[in-house]
Structure 1
Amino acid sequence: MPTYNLYCDESCHLENDNMPYMLLGYVCVPYNQMRQHNERIKQLKEQHHFYGEIKWSKVSNSQHRFYNDLIDYFFATDLFFRAIVIKKEKINNSNFNQDYNTFYYKMYYQLLNHKLDTLSHYNIYLDIKDTLSTGKINHLRSILHTKFGVIRNLQNIHSNESVFLQITDLIMGAIGYHLRGNKRVLAKTNLINRIQKHSQHQIDRSTPKNEDKLNLFFIELQ
């Protein structure tokens, strides 16, 4: 059975952060290609004299060539990205007799539910955000194992431990920036246009369900 690593991150996920959209996403990497991708991305960083952590917040006019080449590399390979996007003003937990944490886990389930294949195995890694991360992992483990039984490993890691987690941050950051209508940094706007050109989809709406390379699901909450 093939094995895949999923590197999950979240953006604007806090209940009262005054951000209009909540995003949950992951980059999927075939396990047998891990070394190949790590080496190639390392070469890209050396080629551009890029020594820091890959982050959307660090995309700048001075580093735009590196980020452009990284996005080109993502679309040329067997790396995949999926995200769900929730308009936070539509969240109404009282209608479902639930709190915000329950809603959050339901959304994580939606992120993973439609792409996990029972004929494969998965290692799932989540970015450590705060002191509550251990509890989050345990809760997700109980939910996902009950449903699927194909998850080999589920754990927290720091973003500096994985370039794939950093790529998740990068692509999710691009989506959030675009949804908020920001255009202040030319390098960021150009990178968003590059993502949309490669994917042949706008990143402010859901992609077709069968889209694999860059799969977006904008949830319509009832």
Structure 2
Amino acid sequence: MEQKNKTFNIYCDESTHLPNDGCPYMIYGYVSVASNQIKMIREQLKAIKTKYNFNSEWKWTGIHDKTYQMYRELVEYFFSVSGLNFRAVVVDKSHIDESRAEYTYNDFYFRMYFQLLHHKTDMTALHNIYFDIKDTCSQMKLHKLKDILKYNASIGNFQFIRSHESVFLQLADVLMGAINYKLRIKTGNIEGKVVAKRRIIEYIESHSYVSLTCTSPLSAQKMNLFYISLKH
């Protein structure tokens, strides 16, 4: 493999990607970390948990009045560190026509990951990819993802890890949850809107200078969103 000048770890996750989960959008996202900053950032993220005596995983579903300040600090930290970025691709599930060849939900799992990983990777760098292990089919999915991304010379290692082992996967869950929650508010697909979650969304949008419900400018690095249109 060609020697690369820079290395990044990419921590991938997916949200509301199943056909009958009651949510209108599927979201795939990742947190990218420069390898020379991983140890420092990991320790600083863990220090936030220690400060709040928090021993569980960070999850979007865990945001409420009592945890708001900690999650706000987590988001503040994300925006303050240059080596820490986020990207997501989003598709309206109602636009998926399974009668078309290669357009089943299973096909979209791999199409979304291709869009997520292939189109924004720096070809001068090496990217190690980590996926949140979900089910017993994970190894089969891993082999398929390796196959469809094999021509991207910037991608190196593929590996599954568990979210409780990685604060970076947990951060991805929070940022993806913010997108999903904002979309559900927009479509009227949610009840009992939690004030703390809305405040976190407002904070993210004010610091990223992008709306969570539409594609961000191509130049956006810290918070890069791509809404895939399936309409013809």
TM over 0.5: yes
Tell me which residue corresponds to 1:99. Answer: 104
Q: How does 1:1-222 map to 2 (within 5 A)?
A: 1-78=5-82, 79-145=84-150, 147-181=151-185, 182=190, 184-222=193-231
* Structure-2 separation of matches of 1:134 and 1:118: 26
Alignment TM-score, normalising by the size of structure 1: 0.96
In structure 1, the residue corresponding to 2:210 is in which secondary structure? coil
Asked if the contact 1:126–1:157 (Cα under 8 Å) also holds between the matched residues in 2, the reply is yes
Asked if the contact 1:48–1:65 (Cα under 8 Å) also holds between the matched residues in 2, the reply is no
Give the deviation of 1:157 after TM superposition: 0.6
Residues 42 and 184 from structure 1, CA distance in 2 versus in 1: closer, same or farther, beyond 3 angstroms? same
Deviations 1:61-111 (A, max 9, x none): 101111001100000112100001100000113234543212221111011
Report sequence identity in percent.
44
* Structure-2 separation of matches of 1:100 and 1:173: 20
* Structure-1 separation of matches of 2:102 and 2:122: 31
Asked if the contact 2:96–2:103 (Cα under 8 Å) also holds between the matched residues in 1, the reply is no
Asked if the contact 1:4–1:31 (Cα under 8 Å) also holds between the matched residues in 2, the reply is yes
Give the deviation of 1:158 after TM superposition: 0.4
* Structure-1 separation of matches of 2:58 and 2:102: 40
In structure 2, the residue corresponding to 1:93 is in which secondary structure? coil
Give the deviation of 1:117 after TM superposition: 1.7
* Structure-2 separation of matches of 1:199 and 1:143: 31
Deviations 1:157-210 (A, max 9, x none): 100110000000000011101100146211111101110111111111110112
Asked if the contact 1:24–1:84 (Cα under 8 Å) also holds between the matched residues in 2, the reply is yes
Equivalent residue letter for 1:219 = I
Asked if the contact 1:8–1:126 (Cα under 8 Å) also holds between the matched residues in 2, the reply is yes
In structure 2, the residue corresponding to 1:174 is in which secondary structure? helix
Equivalent residue letter for 2:106 = N
In structure 2, stretches of 5+ residues that fail to align are none
